[in-house]
Amino acid sequence: MSTAVTVGRAGPTSGRIAPREAIHHVLTVMRRNLLHIRSDPEQLVGMTIQPLMFLMLFVYVFGGAIAGSSRQYLQFALPGILVQGVAFTGFQTALGLNIDFQRGLIDRFRSLPISRSSVVAGRILADAVRVLWGVLIIAGFGMLLGFRFHGGFAGAIGGIALATLFGITVCWPMAFIGVSAKSPEAVNTWGFMIILPLTFASSVFAPASTMPGWLQAFVKVNPITKVVDATRGLMLGGPVARPLWQSLIWLIVITAVFAPLAISRYRRRV
């Protein structure tokens, strides 16, 4: 046992955590979560292969039937599949937080003199990187398959930015599920029950106008429809103003509701 283990301990200063320290804590937690990808490369497969699979299956299996040709359908579906793909990234947020609770790591973090929200914020920041990765992979692969941005450079950047922003926003409700659910299995159950119907009952794969009235009523208010319509408009060139501001309002509302919920749940969970 070396004597270096406990000598020279730091004395307490005050209870407050300076903003600069808090940012440093968030970045440290973010780094930790990104390092996970290296030891668990399957996460990368989930983030990369899964949306590509969706893209291929939908475009080549249903594309001809839905849009007359898979080439035409690719133009329609890519922005939607982009949005759906990032919605699933939120699972990493939920599962990661839930597993940290199970393993007792959250107790360790909470017994440290760091702000409690920095653990959640660091998690989401790391997931923002994953979201951006997913968006770029799908967009790049789509282009290889023949997708073309018709909305100009600004539209392409705008569409990618909106999809990314949406992906980050979805992390908050998923974080809430992650800290509330009793087990990773429960996270999966709740996550799928929410994400799957929300992404399918939207304009991701087909225009709302082709659906029965009762479904249209839901699809038209579904925030995912707004985001998909705006992303599509930006990427393909078309009407964007209305879906864009509606999307942004939704994103703000979702974050304003679920970020405080997730953080307060995180603080209080035993």
We find the least distance from the C-beta atom of residue 44 to another protein, in angstroms, to be: 13
Using alpha carbons, list the distances in angstroms from residue 72 to 75, 78, 148, 220, 242. Answer: 5, 10, 11, 23, 25
Task: Decide: is 10 part of the binding site for another protein (CB under 8 A).
Answer: yes
Residues 6+ positions from 50 with CB-CB distance below 8 Å: 85, 88
Q: For Cα atoms 57, 238, 250, give the angle at the middle one, nearest 5 degrees.
A: 75
Q: Residue 24 or residue 220: which is nearer to another protein going by CB?
A: 24
Is 28 among the residues that bind another protein (CB under 8 A)? Answer: yes
User: If DSSP states are collapsed to H, E and C, what string results for the chain?
Assistant: CCHHHCCCCCCCCCCCCCHHHHHHHHHHHHHHHHHHHHHCCHHHHHHHHHHHHHHHHHHHHHHHHHHCCHHHHHHHHHHHHHHHHHHHHHHHHHHHHHHHHHCCHHHHHHCCCCCCHHHHHHHHHHHHHHHHHHHHHHHHHHHHHCCCCCCHHHHHHHHHHHHHHHHHHHHHHHHHHHHHCCCHHHHHHHHHHHHHHHHHCCCCCCCHHHCCHHHHHHHHHCHHHHHHHHHHHHHHCCCCHHHHHHHHHHHHHHHHHHHHHHHHHHHHCC
* Minimum CB distance to another protein, residue 33 (Å): 9
264 binds another protein (CB under 8 A): no
Binding segment (CB under 8 A) for another protein, from list 19-27, 66-74, 235-243, 252-260: 19-27
Considering the rule CB under 8 A, would residue 209 count as an interface residue with another protein?
no
**If binding means CB under 8 A, how many residues of this protein chain bind another protein?**
40
Residue 270 binds another protein (CB under 8 A): yes
| Minimum distance from residue 39 beta carbon to another protein (Å) | 4
Work out whether 30 is an interface residue with another protein (CB under 8 A): no
Q: Does 220 bind another protein (CB under 8 A)?
A: no
Smallest distance, another protein to C-beta of residue 76, A: 39
Q: How far is the CB of 58 from another protein (least distance, A)?
A: 32
Which residue, 116 or 220, is less far from another protein as judged by CB?
Answer: 116
- Is 40 a binding residue for another protein by CB under 8 A? The answer is yes
Query: What is the smallest separation between the CB atom of 187 and another protein, expressed in angstroms?
Result: 17
Binding positions for another protein, 75-134, rule CB under 8 A: 103-105, 107-114
How far apart are CB 124 and another protein at their closest, in Å? 17
Cβ neighbours of residue 218 under 8 Å, at least 6 residues apart?
A: 201
Binding residue (CB under 8 A) for another protein from 29, 81, 179, 204:
29
- Asked if 6 is part of the footprint of another protein (rule: CB under 8 A), the reply reads yes
1 binds another protein per the rule CB under 8 A: yes
Residues that bind another protein (CB under 8 A): 1-17, 21, 24-25, 28-29, 31-32, 35-36, 39-40, 103-105, 107-114, 270
